[in-house]
Structure 1
C-alpha cells in the first residue's frame, strides 16, 4: 500500500471525507477526484489529487489561497496545477506584494538618506547644496551708515568710560565720557562723592587710567576728572535747547557694572524739574531731559546722545518703585542733566576749580508758596535780578520762561538751567492782577 505525507501544515482529506493523517496509507486503486470540469474526467488517474484544504476546519488560516497537489501517478516531471477556491475573494499575487514592498523600501531609503544629509549638514559635514544667494557685498560694519544706531554706537563707545571710586566703605561704579582731547572727563558728582584718592577710569578697549578729581558741584551733580592718558577721543556736544519730545536718543554707560552698554529710546519730556538728594543732605536741582531709554545704577554720568551722536545730556537719576535705593531698577523713566548746563558747569570747574550758580535774587516761602497757582516769593534781595525787574515779596510767580510753576523746586531748577546773564520772561500775580517782567539772571559763586 502506498503512503503519502501531508506537509507544510496542509490538511488533505481522504476520499471518504475524513481528514488525512500524516503517513496514513492511501487506499489502493483509483482515487475519486473532484467533479468533472468541462473537457475533463472526474477523478481520473491523470487528474491531480484534489484537496478540500481550503474548506477544511483544521486549515491554518494563514495558509495560501491556492494549493498544488501532485497526481498519484505523476513523476518528478509532472506539472503542478493550481487549485483555487472560488468562494474566497482574489488576493494580490506575490508579484504585486513584491512590487509594493520594493517601492516602500525605496521610499524609506530615500527618506533615510535625506534625514542623514540634513543631520550631517547640521553637524558641520560639508554638503553639495549651496543655501541662499551671496550678496556680493562686504559684511559687517562697512554696510552700516554712520547715522544709524549701530554707526552712532561705534563712534561713541571709544569716548565712554567706566568710573570706579573707592569711598572707604566700598567701590562706587558709574560712567563718564571724555570731554576734551587733553583728558577731561565728565561724570556725576554722586559717583565720586566721598571718594578717597583718585578714580580708576576704564575705556571701552579694556585699558585703564588714573583719574584725578578736578572739581565737583553737588547742586548740579556734575564732577570733572582728569585722566593721565593721551590720544583720547572726545565726544561731540549737541544743543539741549534744540531737542524736542519724540527725538530718538541713545544712553551709554555701565549699568549694573556692565560696561559698554547702549540702550535706545526717545525724549519723553523736557524741563522735568528734579529735586534729588538725601534728606538733610545736599539737594540737587535741575530741569531734566526725561527719556524712556533703559537707565540703571551704573549709568550715572554716562552720555545721552541724539540721533546724530551728539551729547545732549548726562544721565543722572532714575525713577523706581523700589524703596531701597540699592534695589532700584529701570521702569522706563530716567532723567538727564541738560548738556548746556553740564557743559557750562564743567567749563567753570576747569577754569576756576568751582562752579557758578545761577540765581534770581529771591527766596521762596510764605503762605501760598508752592500752591497750584504758582510760587510765592518770601523775600527779594535788594539790588538783585528780581528786584531789578520790579518784583516784590509776596508776588506769586506763575511762569518762568513760559514754563508753569507749581512747586518751589520748580523755580530753583528752572533758574539753574540758564546761564548767568540770561534774560528770561516772568509772569506773576500781584494781588488779583497778572503782570509780566523780564529778569536778567545773575551768578553766585559758592
Structure 2
C-alpha cells in the first residue's frame, strides 16, 4: 500500500506512534486529534502582558495578544466584551497595551487554521503590590548569589574614549545625557542605541543593546537611561534576564532609570547608580572647565612651592658664601696645617723623651748585668777550670794527679795537667 492510496481505501493507524511513511495520518485527522486533546483541558489561570488589543465596538468578543513576561512567546486571547468593560470600570481607565494581567481561560484549538488560543471569561490586572512583592523576592535571590556585592563594582573611567548610551526612541533622557555630557566635555563621542524602554519588547531590546555595546572595544562606559514613570513602566528594568545581562557586562555600567526615588533592580547590579539621566552625564565625564581650573591651581601651587624652595636654597647658599672661610679658603688649610705641625712637634718631643728614658734604663740594666756576669770575674784575673767531661772544678778533691783540665780565662783558654792537689783543711767541728 502506498501513501498515494486513498485513506478510505486503507486502514489508518489508531495512534500517532503507529503511523509510518507508508501509512501516514491525513492532516485533518491530526488536527482533529489535537482538538480532542485540547478540548479535554480545564480552565487555567495564566499571567502575561498585553502587547496587542483589537477593540471591536459593538461586538460581543474582544481580541488581545498576551505575551510571556520572560520569554519571547505569545498567545491570542478571546474575551467577552462585558469582561473587558468590567475591568475598565474597576480600573477607572481603559485597558492598555503593556498592562500585566492574569487571565482565567480555557485553551481552544482551531482545527482549520491549526492555531491555539485562549477563551477567557475573567481578566484581572496584576496589582502594584503583587509586582513589588515579586521584585523583592527576586532581589533576595539575586543578592544571595552575590550579584549586588560591592566587590563586583568596577570604577568608572576618568575620561572614557566613547560613551555607550541605551535609551528610548526620541526620548528626553537621550538629550539629558548627551547635551549635559558634551556641555561638560565638548566633543565626547557616543554610541547610541535607541530601544523600547517599556512594554513587551523592552527587556529583549535593552539586553541586546547592552551586549552589543559591551562588545565594542572603544566603549569604556555604558549608560542605561530612562525618564520617570509609574511602577509598571519601570518593570522591565527589574526583569531577571536584564539584570543578569547587566551583571555579565564587562564594561562599567551606569543605571539612570526614573527619578531618585525609583530603585529598579538594575540600579543594584550596576557599577554606579545615577539618580537621573542628567546625573549620569555628570558622572561619566569630567567637567572640562572645572578640570582646567584645578589644573591651573595645581600649576600655581607647584610654581609657588618651587619658588619657595629656590629662595630657601639661595638664602642658605648666601649664608655659606658669607663665612670667612669662603672669602679666603686657604685660612682653613693654614689653620689645619699649623695644628698638624704642632702635633708633629709634640709627638717628636714625646718620642725623644721616651727614647732617652728607655736608653738610661737600658744602660742601668746593662751595668747591673755586667756586674753579675762571670766574665767580669774573669776580667779581674780569675779562671774557670773544667774537667774533660765538662764539669766545673770547685774543690781539690774533684781532681787527681795527672788529670787534664781546661782553663777558661778572661781571654782565651788553656789545657793544664794536675801534678798535685792539696786537700782542703777540715772546717770547725770536723774529726
User: TM-score, with normalisation over the residues of structure 1?
Assistant: 0.20
Structure with the largest fraction of helix: 2
User: TM-score, with normalisation over the residues of structure 2?
Assistant: 0.21
Structure with the largest fraction of strand: 1
Looking at CA atoms only, which structure, 1 or 2, has the larger radius of gyration? 2
